[in-house]
Structure 1
Amino acid sequence: MKNQWNMSMRHSLVGLLGLVLGLAQFTFDARAASLSDTQRATSLSASGLGISELLAQAGKAIAEGRLVGPGNESAIDYYAAVLDRDPHNPIAEEGMRELLPMAAGAIERMIGSGYAERGLHIVDMFARVEPNNHTLAVLRQFAVYRLRYWGR
């Protein structure tokens, strides 16, 4: 339990450092955006990385400002892959909870930039650990609106 606490604290500090240094920017690579969400999730979940490696990669992604985004190399994707293997992993759950406030703006920009499907998928990943979160409900409504009325 102490080791999990230390890892959780390390992830918290790395996340805070990313926020303080302003690394929580959203950058979007249109080439990677062409991958379907299923392809992204499947490739990371099927990778040979173990849970500890996935958690380490999530921490690295946070430190580099890759909170959410295209491809499967953002912190949210690594945490989701951990939860695919261990649905109640406390470190991944806590990491996602801490990531949400920093990532909400990036998700909103993603949806507003025409990537509502990916934004909705990310909202669904966060909802695994925060099913009643108001911010997620608002982002979900925004994504659904964009998909329904703008088609993207």
Structure 2
Amino acid sequence: MDTRNSRYARSRARGAVKPITIAIVAIVLGLAVLSWIFVIKPHEDIVGTDNGAHPSTPVTQGPQAAPPVNVEALSLNDLLAEARKAMNQQRVISPAGNNAFEFYLKVLQKQPGNQTAADALRETFPFAASNVEQVINQRDFNEAEREIDLLAKVDPTNYTLTILRSKLDAQRKTLDEEQQKQLDQQRQADLAAQKAVADKAAAEQAAVQKAASDKAAAAQAALAAQQEKVKDEEAAKAKAVAAQTTSENTTAAAGSTSAETREPIPISVIRPRYPPTALRNGQEGWVDVQYTVNPDGSVTNISVVSAEPRHIFDSAAIDALRRAKFSPAMRDGTAVVFQQEKRIEFKINNSQ
């Protein structure tokens, strides 16, 4: 292949690229000039040359607090001047009554075809929308709603407003849920505190009842011990009396050559159980009892003849005689039925 022809072809190709490059550069420069003429320069005319500010490049200082302005009293030029001042101080859409949006809207109200105000509102719309989003995130819902309504006056069909309203509703719902959660937690804490108080009161009441029960049990145990002691003493005395009676009877039988005649002889001590109620109340008294001693030494037909005080010691006296054992009455050496009467006394000292 001829190398000279190849070099010639490549040289022609490089020569064709240069005009294309030049054309692209020319187009870019033309677009830049057109942008300056139709976009940048008109906007500078809008915002003025106070600080060389531009809506897309706000000054570094934050929005300044400013009192509301009586826009009704301002002329068209005054409104535009106030709007430029508000833009320079980043009061794009707040505070209420003293922000660029309201000034420009008032200009359009007074002069519907004012291109300066219309262009400014259109260009600052995205920055105002960003401010609204920040206000929503700060949960200043009333201010956010005011600013959204202000944006709607500029471009009611803008989809950004739909997004902002959705975010506002979502934040309100989130706040409601958080508040409800706090209320639920507080309610649970209150219920827990009430339960703790109720449990404490119940525990204290149970402790009081247990103390009273323990005291009553101790008193009952003491009474039972006293009664057991009395029972043991009665048994010991009865045993002693029985032994003595048996000895006397043996002696009498051995020394007697004739048939015996006598009244019934108790072979155990007739000692009644002291009624617990009377013992606790410190009552004393006596009971006269009539009864029959049978030939086998058993006791029947027991009845109360008189008592002092009445009905307090009657049952204890009758019970004591039922438990008593007698050597029967004898007539000519034969055991016979015999009716006796006996007074049974109740003394606290004797029962202890």
> TM over 0.5: same fold?
yes
**SS at structure 2 position matched to 1:20:** coil
TM-score by length of 2: 0.32
> d(CA) in 2 for partners of 1:61 and 1:69?
9
What secondary structure, in the 3-state scheme, does the structure 2 residue paired with 1:131 have?
coil
**2:172 matches 1:120:** no
Residue 122 (structure 2) aligned to one of 97, 104, 122 = 97
- TM superposition score normalised by structure 1: 0.67
Structure with the higher fraction of residues in strand conformation: 2
Structure 2's unaligned 5+ residue stretches are 1-40, 177-352
Give the gaps of 5 or more residues in structure 1: 1-5, 33-39
Partner of residue 3, structure 1: none
Aligned residues: 134
Mapped partners of 1:109, 1:131: distance in 2: 20
Alpha carbon RMSD of aligned pairs, Å?
3.3
Against the structure 1 CA distance between its residues 108 and 123, is the aligned structure 2 distance closer, same or farther, given a 3 Å change threshold? same
Specify the code of the residue in structure 2 equivalent to 1:105: S
Structure-2 residue corresponding to 1:150: 175
Q: Which amino acid aligns with 1:80?
A: L
Percent identity, please.
Answer: 25
Query: Which of 45, 51, 63 lines up with 1:10 in the alignment?
Result: 45
The answer (yes or no) to whether the contact 2:141–2:172 under 8 Å persists in 1 is: yes
The match for 1:20 is 57
The SS at the match of 1:94 is: helix
Who is 2:160 aligned against? 135
**Residue 77, structure 1, aligned to residue 77, structure 2:** no
Distance in 2 (alpha carbons) for counterparts of 1:78 and 1:139: 23
Instruction: Tell me which of 102, 110, 135 is aligned to 1:110.
Output: 135
Question: Given the superposition, is the C-alpha separation of residues 44 and 142 from structure 1 closer, same or farther in structure 2, using an over 3 Å criterion?
Answer: farther
- Tell me the alpha carbon deviations over residues 34-84 of structure 1, each in whole angstroms, 9 at most, x when there is no partner: xxxxxx6xx6443x1012211111111112222122232211121222234
Counterparts in 2 of 1:13 and 1:144: CA distance versus 1, 3 Å: farther
Query: How far off its partner does 1:107 sit?
Result: 1.1
Q: Cα–Cα, structure 1 residues 10 and 23, in superposed 2: closer, same or farther, change >3 Å?
A: farther
In 2: Cα distance, 1:28 partner to 1:111 partner: 20
Q: Distance in 2 between matches of 1:125 and 1:21?
A: 20
Matched, 1:51 2:60: no
The answer (yes or no) to whether the contact 1:96–1:126 under 8 Å persists in 2 is no
Q: Deviations over 1:79-138 (max 9, x none)?
A: 222234344533222211111122222111112212222222222222223122121221
Query: In structure 2, what residue type is equivalent to 1:136?
Result: L
Is the 2:93–2:99 contact (alpha carbons within 8 Å) kept by the matching residues of 1? yes
CA contact (8 A) 1:44 1:81 kept: no
Task: Quote the Cα distance in structure 1 between the aligned partners of 2:144 and 2:175.
Answer: 14
Structure 1 runs, 4 residues or longer, greater than 6 Å off? none
Q: Which whole-Å CA distance do the structure 2 matches of 1:68 and 1:24 have between them?
A: 16
Higher Cα radius of gyration = 2
* SS of residue paired to 1:128: helix
AA matched with 2:54: L
- Identify the structure with the greater helix proportion: 1
